[in-house]
Amino acid sequence: MEYPEFIKNMPSAEIPFEGAAANLLTGKEGQAAFFKLKKGFLVPPHSHGEQWGIMVSGELELTIGEETKVYKAGDSYYIGEGVTHSANCLTDVLAIDIFADPERYKAR
């Protein structure tokens, strides 16, 4: 599965890690990131402002606070402000994350 061309034509996010790419849709109140992550990609533990996401395809092992769960296509998740979280891509993943911070990622 792939995103449609109009999403692929949105600005690319500056992500300093191999195996992760995203296209950005940014507004005054927040930012949407259309992620494409490779199998085996690890998101190290970190925290930031509020985040809500939905899995488009693939399987993602996501730890939010002390809870670890595997998410699949159609599953959604919420990460509260300041909550530490990390992830492991069990397969190639497409996920859409919405951030309360309109400047969460910088565009290239």
What is the tens place of the pLDDT at every residue in 1-51?
899 999 999 999 999 889 999 999 999 999 999 999 999 999 999 999 999
Enter the tokens of residue 52. Answer: 């809500």
pLDDT at residue 1, rounded to an integer: 86
15 lies in a domain?
Answer: no
* pLDDT single digits (tens) 46-82: 999 999 999 999 999 999 999 999 999 999 999 999 9
107 lies in a domain?
Answer: no
Prediction pTM value: 0.96
pLDDT at residue 16, rounded to an integer: 85
78 lies in a domain?
Answer: yes
| 70 membership: H or E segment, kind and range | strand 67-72
Distance between CA atoms of 7 and 40, rounded to whole angstroms?
24
| 5 membership: H or E segment, kind and range | helix 5-8
**What amino acid occupies position 108?**
R
32 lies in a domain?
Answer: no
Q: 23 near 15, Cβ under 8 Å? A: no
pLDDT at residue 105, rounded to an integer: 96
pLDDT at residue 47, rounded to an integer: 96
**What amino acid occupies position 38?**
K
Which CATH number characterizes residue 90's domain?
Answer: 2.60.120.10
23 lies in a domain?
Answer: no
71 lies in a domain?
Answer: yes
pLDDT at residue 17, rounded to an integer: 87
Domains in the chain, number: 1
46 lies in a domain?
Answer: yes
| CA quadruple 30, 79, 12, 91: dihedral, nearest 10 | -150
Range of the domain at 79: 1-7+39-101
